[in-house]
Amino acid sequence: MCRSIKTLRPPVLPEEATEEDIRAAALQFVRKVSGFRAPAAHNREVFDRAVDEIAASTARLLDGLEVRGGVRTP
């Protein structure tokens, strides 16, 4: 599962990662860690919250990274 998570920072990804890219990576991470491809109804809320939190953390990480020799966009 996690093999489908791709690097989201330039220059590996030529353009800025989209919200969709970030959310897909977060979903794959939560699936791997939880061991569930799709959670049962009683776990849906916590599963979705984890995806949201990881996506937000990933967006902050990507926004704050400075790649040496690369161009940092504001």
Using one digit for the tens of pLDDT, what is the confidence trace for 14-70? 788 899 999 999 999 999 999 999 999 999 999 999 999 999 999 999 999 887 775
pTM of the model: 0.81
One-letter amino acid of 27: L
**Could you tell me the residue ranges of all domains in the chain?**
2-64
**66 exposure class (CB count in 10 Å sphere: 0-12, 13-18, 19+):** exposed
C-beta atoms surrounding 59 within 10 Å: 16
Place of tokens 């967006």: 59
